[in-house]
Chains A and B, each alone.
Chain A
Amino acid sequence: AQSVTQPDIHITVSEGASLELRCNYSYGATPYLFWYVQSPGQGLQLLLKYFSGDTLVQGIKGFEAEFKRSQSSFNLRKPSVHWSDAAEYFCAVGGSSNTGKLIFGQGTTLQVKP
């Protein structure tokens, strides 16, 4: 079955510290992978995506993610977290079959300590 797992429901980091949010997927075909951020009361904003090619992808707001096929993972990283990064982060997987459907993980809530 197709699924996305974000093992960490809630993460707290200090401002300026590095961040890694984990995402594992199960998908039978070639996966298209996405990270979205949802700030309180806001819609979802696309941070970055992986379709093919270089397995390290850069996104907006200083985020990057690395696709590791052998581990079925697509972890999100940021070297130095800012207080404004506090939000809910969702990993999602779609397929190359062009249906456009996305399967979302449960989300990780990021809290940033001053």
Chain B
Amino acid sequence: SAVISQKPSRDICQRGTSLTIQCQVDSQVTMMFWYRQQPGQSLTLIATANQGSEATYESGFVIDKFPISRPNLTFSTLTVSNMSPEDSSIYLCSVVAGYTYEQYFGPGTRLTVT
């Protein structure tokens, strides 16, 4: 398995501002992902964070709103831009370590937009 940390663990932000969430893994991983969990809902994949290239976004998510970086095999950031109250969610990063297809999740970042 992999040990994943996220910063910040929670934040309260004003609408119109941006927040960058960091995801750090204790070992090199092949795949990293970002998910959103809206209040009382299940998880929805935002994008696949590709090392050294642009992220691959799922339908309904765009780079201008959720820019993602992945400069190396252990670190990624997700920015939530121009926030509105509808962006209030838990944002989780996940990784697939090696070729096991097992996917492990970080503790999440709880974002509240006022």
In the complex, number of A-B residue pairs with CB atoms less than 8 Å apart: 51
In the assembled complex, B19 has its CB within 8 A of some CB on chain A: no
Q: Given that A43-B92, A44-B92 are known contacts, is A104 also in contact with B42, CB under 8 Å in the complex?
A: yes
Q: How far is the CB of B26 from chain A (nearest CB, A)?
A: 15
In the assembled complex, B48 has its CB within 8 A of some CB on chain A: yes
CB contacts under 8 Å to A, within B67-105, are 92, 94, 96, 99, 101-105
In the assembled complex, A74 has its CB within 8 A of some CB on chain B: no
The secondary-structure label for the interface of chain B is strand
- Per the bound structure, the CA–CA distance linking A84 and B22 in Å amounts to 30
Contacting residue for A43 out of B31, B41, B48, B105, CB 8 A: B105
- Per the bound structure, the CA–CA distance linking A64 and B33 in Å amounts to 27
- Per the bound structure, the CA–CA distance linking A45 and B4 in Å amounts to 12
Q: How far is the CB of A71 from chain B (nearest CB, A)?
A: 22
Contact-size category for B: 20 to 34
CB contacts under 8 Å to B, within A36-69, are 36, 42-46, 49, 51
User: What residue of chain B has the Cβ atom nearest to residue A96's Cβ?
Assistant: B101
In the assembled complex, A32 has its CB within 8 A of some CB on chain B: yes
Residues on B lying within 8 angstroms of A by beta carbon are: 1, 30-31, 33, 41-45, 48, 92, 94, 96, 99, 101-108
The 4 closest A-B pairs by CB, nearest first: A44-B105, A43-B107, A100-B31, A100-B96
Please name 14 further chain A to chain B contacts, defined as beta carbons within 8 Å, in addition to the given A100-B101, A101-B48, A106-B41, sorted by A numbering.
A36-B105, A43-B107, A44-B92, A45-B105, A46-B103, A49-B102, A90-B43, A94-B103, A99-B48, A100-B31, A100-B96, A102-B33, A102-B94, A103-B45
